[in-house]
Amino acid sequence: MILQTTFPGHSLWSSCSAHRLHSFLLSKRRRSSLSYWHFNRLRPRLFAVAASENGVFTSPEIAKTFDFTSEEGIYNWWESQGYFRPNLDRGSDPFVISMPPPNVTGSLHMGHAMFVTLEDIMVRYHRMKGRPTLWLPGTDHAGIATQLVVEKMLASEGIKRVELGRDEFVNRVWEWKEKYGGTITNQIKRLGASCDWNREHFTLDEQLSRAVIEAFVRLHEKGLIYQGSYMVNWSPSLQTAVSDLEVEYHEESGTLYYIKYRVAGGSKSDYLTIATTRPETLFGDVAIAVHPEDDRYSKYINRMAIVPLTYGRHVPIISDKHVDKDFGTGVLKISPGHDHNDYNLARKLGLPILNVMNKDATLNKVAGLYCGLDRFEARKKLWADLEETGLAVKKEPHTLRVPRSQRGGEVIEPLVSKQWFVTMEPLAEKALRAVEKGDLKIIPERFEKIYNHWLSNIKDWCISRQLWWGHRIPVWYIVGKDCEEEYIVARSDDEALRKAQKKYGRDTKIYQDPDVLDTWFSSALWPFSTLGWPDESIEDFKRFYPTTMLETGHDILFFWVARMVMMGIEFTGTVPFKYVYLHGLIRDSQGRKMSKTLGNVIDPLDTIKEYGTDALRFTIALGTAGQDLNLSTERLTSNKAFTNKLWNAGKFVLQNLPSQNDASAWENILSYKFDEVELLGKLPFPECWVISKLHLLIDTVTASYDKFFFGDVGRDTYEFFWGDFADWYIEASKARLYHSGGDSVASVTQAVLLYVFENILKLLHPFMPFVTEELWQALPYRKEALIISPWPLTSLPRKSNSIKKFENLQALTRAIRNARAEYSVEPVKRISASIVANEEVTEYIVKEKEVLALLSRLDLQNIHFTDSPPGNADQSVHLVAGEGLEAYLPLADMIDITAEIQRLSKRLSKMQTEYDGLKARLSSPKFVEKAPEDIVRGVQEKAAETEEKITLTKNRLALLKSTVVVT
């Protein structure tokens, strides 16, 4: 089978540069066959050794392209061989990552694809570096999300949760989890995650549940857990407090209502107009506030206002500098039972807290006649009544920032509720010091400021949830006693009963708190609870804790990462990880957040089916830490082409290696030690160039891996593989393999091809594990799988003079290619050339005459090397490739001069007409004076550009005509 490789085409005429990646990633790659003299020299040699041995892998010589369907087979083979488990025989410092546990209810989305890709890159890299690696996976019980799913399932059967009772409902949830809970795990495997699945955990596992109870008990014993009635985010339909993280704010169209509050003891004209978006909360007003410097209302300060529709209830009019004079009317109603800001202000000023709402979001008896009405129904009725009584001033459209439940989508209600809390300030102080002292490094560093700000202004953490699915709060109350004053904290029912009977008598009866803990409470213990804590004698805990890396999205830096740091220091005495790597969101090609509403969601599994896992991973990994990534089908298509290019390069290498039965040839190939300076100096300069560039790349890429600059790794490796190896060295190698030089030259070339390609596979493996492993398995004499093969050594020798020499050859080749393109020389046509160079340059260029002829499509028999311009210089295209290196290409060799003169004459006439028209416009005062400035400037630029083209065309015509005369 003949490799479909590339040959000079449009994108090859320019040099490889940093900007090339996306521009030519997004262009269609060109096709062409091998050079004209090579077809009869190719012999396919099959090396599908791995395929014949284990039936997992397919040789590139058999398959035309990499088959994505083989990825699952490769993955299963890795896992069956135990490659995902930490190799403790290596004995070095382990590299440990705890996977951010996805919700057990979840299915794969691009956020998962992002964290799996980045974490797997880290793990595979450090595994190849020789470190024992542990990537510990697991899932989160996701209290609210899971309970919602099961409740909906029961509702479809006509069953309500309360009808089943707590124990039976929890049993049903466990049944659901066993049946459907593995979906997300299997999908994560499909992304190539090389986790140690033998150590997989679930946050409600027996071990992790024990850790949760222990943490609660210890915090309570230190006085850091308390119970009290404070403001929380309340979900009326779920009937539970919810985390800040589970509240999403949406900008929505709403209404601003203006209401009169009469001043007690004043005349009819004495009233304050208040603008509010939630008039139904006025029954909970405890004060009216104005700015102390607002002259409009200064006369009313310290007087009383009458709350409308409350039968004359009076509240004080106070002043506070936090009142915004410019919002609404500059008058603020303070309803501390139903607004977070009002609540904080009321606590600061010592105002009472008045709640007017039930937990199902209906108004309570404080609302009088409105008692029992839903909050939104009450709003409508209240406004109608205000209009009727003359207290409604007006209402106007207003954009609201509405808090909605992330799970159910309902409007969240700020509500004062009795809950359990953790005192965070003393925990936060230690977490702040960890970053300050350098014990914890956050990547990118700019997020340290956000981390510090949040911890410096931290609020106590509401950890109780009014659910049935989760870790039951380990608190028991005494039957017949006040539950706020008398309770027992214990590690089990039996321990609680013993404590209660010891304190209150043998006949004491107890019952457990019905609430469960916030899901984030168990997640905060994840890095150490999964390794055996609180039993610190367990081997995994001693060996793998503290972990090395925590990788996650920057959006949960506060809610999860900071809490893990605080809990890790509190319970183990050390930070739970040395590094925090924060990735951004994946957005669509236009930079919009992916959502079902916009219809722009890209499904990772669908993407894998169409483009392959490797292309998806490579695309995602090209981002920058902490920054959002725009994902497009164009990028995926480009990187699918990259996968195929890698596959085709593998084909080429394999097809040009000797038969595996040829022991003598293989002994010769394997004898080359390219890590030795002496051998490198003896190589022809193209071979020395590509190996020197490879060794430079290994150093650069390794440093980028160590600094977590994964985007740089991907771009640099891509550029070297496609720009240097595939586009230049593979093409140059054909002169060695198929033309002349004998077996010794071919042997060196074969050894270099194999050496460079296998190192490229190693460098790319963390990014593109499947295609690289399959190619690796096809290479002969592989002693172990790529996934566990050693990482390339750094600081290997390189020859800068060979790099310079090959760059000169490249510059000369590009110049000739550009000239061919400019004069539209047919690709198959061979042309002659005179190369003018100094003695030093000529010496090494002459040695690569065949390579130059092959790459530039020159006539091998008509390449002449001189130290001065040839006699036909005035009838030739003169090219300057660099200092001391020029070329002359005879025009008669390249084109039909008469036809070209005719073509250029027509072109010149057309350009002259266009130029005359542009100059006429610019000569018109009406146009110059009346047309917009940017239009005039555009015409001026176009005229200058056209004039330059005319000059160039005239010069070319003069050259062609002089050639005709001479001829």
Beta bridge partners of 396: 256
Question: Half-sphere exposure of 341 toward its Cβ, with a 13 Å CA cutoff?
Answer: 8
Which CATH code is given to the segment(s) 898-965? 1.10.287.380
To 5 degrees, how large is the angle CA 543–CA 548–CA 551?
A: 135
Domain ranges of the chain: 69-213+519-618, 235-415, 475-512, 632-757, 804-895, 898-965
Write down the pLDDT at residue 597: 64
User: Which helix (H) or strand (E) element contains residue 654?
Assistant: helix 633-655
Pairing state between β 247-263 and 304-306: antiparallel
Nearest by Cα to 229 from 347, 332, 143, 334: 347
* Bridge-based pairing state of the strands 201-202 and 876-882: unpaired
Structure confidence at residue 823 (pLDDT): 83
d(CA 355, CA 335): 8
What are the angstrom distances between the C-alpha of 78 and each of 193, 789, 878?
11, 13, 58
The pLDDT assigned to 596 comes to 65
Q: At what angle do helices 447-456 and 425-436 cross, to 10 degrees?
A: 150
Q: Please say whether the beta carbons of 760 and 721 come within 8 A.
A: yes
Name the CA dihedral angle for 653, 659, 660, 666, rounded to a multiple of 10 degrees: -80
Tens digit of each residue's pLDDT (9 = 90 or more) over 773-830: 999 999 988 889 999 999 999 999 999 999 999 999 999 999 999 989 888 888 899 9
Could you tell me whether strands 413-422 and 225-235 are parallel, antiparallel, or unpaired per DSSP bridges? antiparallel
Which phi and psi (to 5°) does residue 886 adopt? -135, 165
Q: Is the dihedral of CA 366, 367, 370, 373 positive or negative?
A: negative
Distance CA 412, CA 280 (A): 15
Packing angle between helix 183-190 and helix 110-128, nearest 10 degrees?
60
What's the distance, CA 352 to chain centroid? Answer: 47
What's the start-to-end Cα distance of the chain, in Å? 47
The runs of H, that is alpha helices, within 769-860 are 769-778, 800-822, 839-847, 849-856
Tell me how far apart the alpha carbons of residues 788 and 664 are, in angstroms, rounded to a whole number: 29
Residue 646 CB neighbours (<10 A): 25
For 894-950, give the DSSP string: HS-HHHHHHHHHHHHHHHHHHHHHHHHHHH-HHHHHHS-HHHHHHHHHHHHHHHHHH
Q: Which fold has domain 235-415?
A: Isoleucyl-tRNA Synthetase; domain 2 (3.90.740)
Distance CA 244, CA 233 (A): 7
What is the distance, to the nearest Å, from the Cα of residue 458 to the centroid of all Cα atoms in its chain? 28
Closest by CA to 854, choosing from 730, 752, 757, 745, is: 730
Gap between the Cα atoms of 8 and 28, Å rounded = 14
Phi, psi of 791 (to 5 degrees): -70, 145
CATH domain 69-213+519-618 topology = Rossmann fold (3.40.50)
Q: Is 332 helix (H, G, I), strand (E, B) or coil?
A: strand
Which pLDDT value is given to residue 964? Answer: 55
Q: Are 407 and 246 in contact (CB under 8 A)?
A: yes
Contacts of 351 (CB under 8 A, 6+ apart): 286, 287, 334, 336, 345
Cβ contact 78:194 at 8 Å: yes
Give the separation between CA 331 and CA 336, rounded to whole angstroms.
15
Q: Which residues contact 802 (CB under 8 A, 6 or more apart)?
A: 683, 685, 688, 689, 692
Low-confidence ranges of the chain (pLDDT < 70): 1-54, 595-597, 740-743, 963-967
